[in-house]
Amino acid sequence: MRTTTASRDGIARRVLQFALIALLACVAARASAADRVIIGNVSRTVEQLPNYAASDKGFFAQEGIQGDVVLIGSTDTLIQALIAGQVNVAIVDPTPAINAVERGARLKIIGGTVPIAAYTLVACPKYKSIKELKGTTLSVVSLVSGSTIFLKEMLKHEGFEANRDYAMIQGGPTTQRLASLKGCVASATMVLGGDLPRARELGYNTIARLQDYVPNLQFHSFIVDSRWAEANAALTVRYLKAMVRAMQWSHAHKEEAAELVSRRTGIPLKYTRASVDEYLSQGIISRDGSVNREGFQRLIDLMGPTLFKQTPYPTPDKYLDLSYLARAHQELSAR
């Protein structure tokens, strides 16, 4: 049977139509696929509330982002993973990033979630005051983390000299460090506000607050490799938009935020309700992702004697790039 020219043309048109439909479907699928951002945290804490809200309340999805969180139990290891490209954004205190930049890493802090470090020093039951810690071993998350620098400053205020009057061991995440206080294997450790009720329930004593020694220190920040941010500028802005919206939602929905933190961390609601209320009412959780520049400079000054060879120490501008956050705010205000 011979095929006419008309029928051949009809077959060709149908083939082209099918090919075009397939191509459009492929483009649509590619357009609708969320861009993946790998987010590195140290552990599940109240301070990660904006991250939980961005994911669970749909802010990542609305910005076309698949936000995948990985937990890395050490700030040092987290920053190494960031430099290696294994995570795209690290949410942690800026201290290890500052150290890495001074060793040549191309890291930038592009915003923050916690502009005030709210640490408390807790001790095993036999110790009732910070002065009683002389000659003991304290457990820290890492030997160069922000909380360790803060702790050293608190001990310095009490007349303690490092290596002479106390020792420090790297104890990892909060759960492990609290466990090390059992039987006084370690004498004390620093915990954040969200972990304080659990520490008290375990019978540990609250013996000092960071705010009474060194107030107003910049804490959890968005840290990126500048090369990744530059190559993914629009995605970086969208990520920050989602996080800013998550912070705003948290401040507007305190009870739901407390329930979210409880669900994500496993901390009983009776504790997260008080912690979340304190964090939001006192501005410990940011509303807009901005960086506490005064607190950042104070952090640099604390690191200065061991990190820099001479004064004056650098200003925050050496480590910050807030242009992405400015664009995020501009795009959010234009909605």
Question: What pLDDT is attached to residue 99?
Answer: 95
Question: What pLDDT is attached to residue 43?
Answer: 85
Q: ∠ CA(196), CA(197), CA(199), 5° rounding?
A: 65
ω into 173 cis (within 30 of 0)? no
Question: What pLDDT is attached to residue 302?
Answer: 93
Distance separating alpha carbons of residues 214 and 259, to the nearest angstrom: 31
Q: How is 144-210 classified by DSSP, letter by letter? A: TSHHHHHHHHHHHHTT--BTTTBEEEE--SHHHHHHHTGGGSSSEEEEEGGGHHHHHHTTPEEEEEG
Tell me, what DSSP letter sits at residue 58?
S
Q: Which long-range contacts (CB under 8 A, 24 or more apart) does 297-303 make?
A: 298/214, 298/216, 298/217, 298/218, 299/94, 299/95, 299/98, 299/146, 299/149, 299/217, 299/218, 300/98, 302/149, 302/150, 302/153, 302/214, 302/217, 303/95, 303/98, 303/99, 303/149
Query: What is the bridge-based pairing of β-strands 119-123 and 167-170?
Result: unpaired
Other C-beta atoms within 10 Å of 27: how many? 10
Write down the pTM of the prediction. 0.84
User: Between helices 49-56 and 254-265, what is the axis angle to 10°?
Assistant: 100
For residue 1, give both structure tokens.
């049977």
Tell me, what DSSP letter sits at residue 126?
T
Distance separating alpha carbons of residues 162 and 158, to the nearest angstrom: 12
Question: What pLDDT is attached to residue 33?
Answer: 67
For residue 274, give both structure tokens.
């008080």
Q: Which of 216, 236, 212, 234 is nearest to 225 (CA)?
A: 236
Q: Which domains does the chain have, with CATH numbers?
A: 33-116+218-333 (3.40.190.10), 119-212 (3.40.190.10)
Helix ranges (H only) for the chain are: 5-32, 49-56, 59-62, 75-83, 95-102, 146-157, 174-180, 196-201, 226-231, 233-252, 254-265, 269-281, 293-307, 323-333
CB 243 within 8 A of CB 41: no
Q: List average pLDDT for each run of 10 residues in the chain, which is 335 residues long.
A: 48 45 39 82 92 98 97 89 97 94 97 95 96 97 87 96 94 90 95 88 95 92 98 98 98 98 92 93 96 96 92 97 98 92
Tell me, what DSSP letter sits at residue 28?
H
CB 200 within 8 A of CB 167: no
Please name the residue that has the structure tokens 């940011």: 286
